[in-house]
Structure 1
Amino acid sequence: MGCNAEIVIRNIRAFVTAPAGINLVVVKVETSEPELFGYGCATFTWRHKAVVTAVEEYLNPLFQGRNVHNIEEIWQSMMGSSYWRNGPVLNNAMSGVDEALWDIKGKLARMPLYQLLGGKCREGIAVYRHADGDSWGEVSKCIHRYLEEGYRYIRCHMGLYGGNQGNRQPIVKPENAPAGAYYSPRLYMRSVVDLLDRVRAEFGWDLEVMHDVHERLSPVDALALAKEVEPFRLFFLEDSLRPDQGEYLKYLRQQTSVPLAIGELFTHPLEWRTIIQNQWVDFIRVHLSDIGGITPAIRLAHFADAYQVRTAWHGPGDLSPIGMAAQMHLDLSLPNFGIQEFSGFTEAEREVFPGCPEVRNGYAYLNDAPGIGTDFDEKAARKYPAVDSMDFSWLFSRLPDGTPVRP
């Protein structure tokens, strides 16, 4: 079938499934061509119901009848369809449609997505894993396991994200203090230094190490931590500041040599434009569905390449295997690929999402199926319905006096 053939969107649906206990949102774009459809990731796990509503009640009726070939035109129209824009709910809804349209385009071309993006720049995708635990013994055991599996890049943490890294020193709270994940920034900073010192002492200097602050420090404390971890030669220090504190990154760049990564909370181009143009960061770490999908990610990656900034797309457990595969197609094709975060797939996820990327000896590999290549088994997905009770506690961080900390 020629590229000019009129194939249009017939219906847009959203599914929620939780094969690993985390709500994942998948969008299906059905077309006027029998048996031609595409899948995309729209996972905003903390507001999955809002995303489903945005997809089915708003985008579906607005975009039925649009030509599936015109991905850019559809993306621009979706962005303006609610007048107000660039929030995570609409961006994720758009991402589901956008990725599904790229999936369809690959199927029509009978090519994997990376071929449509210019072909391969590399044969395998270097990935990193998370070594977590409540004690050094647990973290060390986790690192040993990943090294035995062939991973060479590992992010190291103890305890709560941005918390006290396994340190059992109690937090003294005021009377009638509300519930929350309490932590002391200064205690956290000291414990990070202790953690990294243990990592280097036991595993040496060949291991590439990352650490994620999760935006839980003030700018002055973020600068102090960056200076304190310099001797450990991190691959990068991640998200040391909030999205609205980007202008402070210039001070970290001026006063430390630590490679800086940021971006998992970004939803708007203005959050990354200045920091990339000024080369205040080394890695851009956006979550593809939170910025609207593959189409804006291509623009962002090429923009970053002009300023020697590499990609390190966000790859947590609340990213569907379809979303992970979409990111990896970009990883294969982009000249400025840096590293890919990878949280692994459970057997249940592999059941629901046939064709998941495979990881061997620290590298991820995609299949060469047309489109994104990771499918969605709608029948299997029904075995793992959405969960209504999720653990929100880590999102409610508080300083010792009870002040909420906003990532």
Structure 2
Amino acid sequence: MKIESAETVVTSPGRNFVTLRITTTDGVTGLGDATLNGRELAVDSYLRDHVAPLLVGRDAGRVEDTWQYLYRGAYWRRGPVTMAALAAVDMALWDIKAKAAGMPLYQLLGGASRTGALAYGHASGRDVPELFDSVRAHLEAGYRAIRIQTGIPGLDSVYGVAASTAGGGQRYDYEPARPTALPVEEAWDTRAYLRHVPTVFEAVRSEFGPELPLLHDGHHRMTPIQAAKLGKALEPYDLFWLEDATPGEDQAALRLIRQHTTTPLAIGEVFNSAHDYTLLLQDRLIDYVRSAVTHTGGITAMKKLLDMAGHYGAKSGIHGPTDISPVGMAAALHLDIAIHNFGIQEYMRHTPETLEVFRTSYTFADGLLHPSDTPGLGVELDTEAAARFPYRAAYLPVNRLTDGTVHDW
């Protein structure tokens, strides 16, 4: 099969998504997720102007060779725009290959290693009673592991709290890039956060018992010593993981955190290459790999990264919020089912509008996700529905300390 065309579809059913659709001369189509939250058009241009022309006429079955051609052949390697574009091509080619074989993709990755992938949801609240309500709602929805995020006294808007108010009092859903002329600016106080979070986990454990797996995301906001302090303070509450405790660029910082706490550590949602993990894995400084298939070069690259992680005892925790399209989510699920060292899968439900554009076949039941046995990735794009939701410029928030200093968001 030769590649006949490669085209991008940009749509915004509540939030922006960039999808690559590759069609072969045999009429088989494959989809890839190229969404980069808040920088979508950069990836769209990279694909349309620089990648698509290189694909036409190539053998659609040469997935590895095409990956290397686009990665090594560009000379300028890595970076989120490049790797998201490469991921989209890779997903689409795997989708085509599995459809041609008449198999769900995970069968081509070695077959199933489990019956389902444990998923965690995002519970949050401006205060503890509201948080408890959110936890109960997630338990009723079938989740068996839950991320805990909470409002901080004295701060109006806090990452991960669904009911936070910002930008004129508008409610927003976790971490979207919001359609504003300029990024919304939020305030942050790390000392207040460090004082408050352990009391929240004490309350959650007291209310919901010791068995429920609990996770927490620091979202890169702490220094290494602050993160070490929090990890130690949270040890009595037996977290599944503490995520992104400190900015990922300084990988050696994880060594200091590790020296002071036994709380498991997860990092990597802003990474885009296996090279970002070399020190972290070799020195056993993390327990979970948090990269997204969409931002890390696709299925080919993520399979290699997770196999490498397995040699050092680290497990997967693939990034899966709603800025990963259902195509990217399906790609993650096929890996989750196939790899040996699976840990957990982040899972936020997409809106009905999004699921109108992307027709999915994966399932969620009794806390477990399954990609389905539909040939390929198991997701189809409704282009007519996509056209009803045009792109809207949007930005992620910017964070400032209470004295006005720009901080990590």
TM-score, normalization: structure 2? 0.91
Consecutive unaligned residues of structure 2, counting only runs of 5 or more, are 152-156, 166-182
Change (3 A) 1:72 1:179: closer
| Equivalent pair of 2:124/2:161 in contact (CA under 8 Å) | no
TM-score, normalization: structure 1? 0.91
Distance 2:29 2:12 in 1: 22
Q: Does 1:54 align with 2:59?
A: no
> Which sits farther off after the overlay, 8-17 or 353-362?
353-362
% identity of equivalent residues: 38
Q: Does 1:387 align with 2:389?
A: no
Change (3 A) 1:163 1:402: farther
Aligned length: 387
Q: 2:362 is matched by which residue type in structure 1?
A: P
User: What displacement does 1:391 show?
Assistant: 5.0
Once the two structures are superposed, residues 259-296 of structure 1 have per-residue CA deviations (whole angstroms, 9 ceiling, x without a partner) of 11111010233321110111111111001111111110
Distance 2:162 2:385 in 1: 38
1:223-262 aligned at under 5 Å gives the runs 223-262=228-267
User: What displacement does 1:63 show?
Assistant: 2.1
Distance 2:111 2:163 in 1: 44
Higher-strand-fraction structure: 2
1:4 aligns with: none
Distance 2:371 2:332 in 1: 11
| Equivalent pair of 1:321/1:356 in contact (CA under 8 Å) | no
Root-mean-square deviation (CA), in Å?
A: 2.0
Distance 2:83 2:162 in 1: 33
2:15 aligns with: 22
Distance 1:384 1:281 in 2: 40
> 87, 109, 113: which is aligned to 1:117?
109
2:35 aligns with: 43
Change (3 A) 1:216 1:335: same
Once the two structures are superposed, residues 31-65 of structure 1 have per-residue CA deviations (whole angstroms, 9 ceiling, x without a partner) of 121x2110011111211111111111110112211
1:28-107 aligned at under 5 Å gives the runs 28-33=21-26, 35-107=27-99
Q: 1:267 is matched by which residue type in structure 2?
A: N
Q: What secondary structure is seen at the aligned counterpart in 1 of 2:7?
A: strand
> 360, 363, 366: which is aligned to 2:365?
360
1:285 aligns with: 290
Distance 1:45 1:15 in 2: 15
| Equivalent pair of 1:25/1:45 in contact (CA under 8 Å) | no
1:202 aligns with: 207
| Equivalent pair of 2:126/2:161 in contact (CA under 8 Å) | no
1:190 aligns with: 195
Distance 2:162 2:377 in 1: 38
2:121 aligns with: 129
Q: What secondary structure is seen at the aligned counterpart in 2 of 1:66?
A: coil
1:370-385 aligned at under 5 Å gives the runs 370-385=375-390
Q: What secondary structure is seen at the aligned counterpart in 2 of 1:45?
A: coil
| Equivalent pair of 2:229/2:260 in contact (CA under 8 Å) | no
> 312, 323, 335: which is aligned to 1:307?
312
Q: 1:52 is matched by which residue type in structure 2?
A: D
1:403 aligns with: 405
Q: What secondary structure is seen at the aligned counterpart in 1 of 2:327?
A: helix
Change (3 A) 1:166 1:380: closer
Once the two structures are superposed, residues 189-229 of structure 1 have per-residue CA deviations (whole angstroms, 9 ceiling, x without a partner) of 11111211111121111111000000011111111111111
| Equivalent pair of 2:95/2:377 in contact (CA under 8 Å) | yes
| Equivalent pair of 2:320/2:345 in contact (CA under 8 Å) | yes
Consecutive unaligned residues of structure 1, counting only runs of 5 or more, are 1-6, 169-177
2:326 aligns with: 321
Q: Could you list the structure 1 runs, at least 4 aligned residues long, displaced by more than 2 angstroms after superposition.
A: 159-168, 390-393
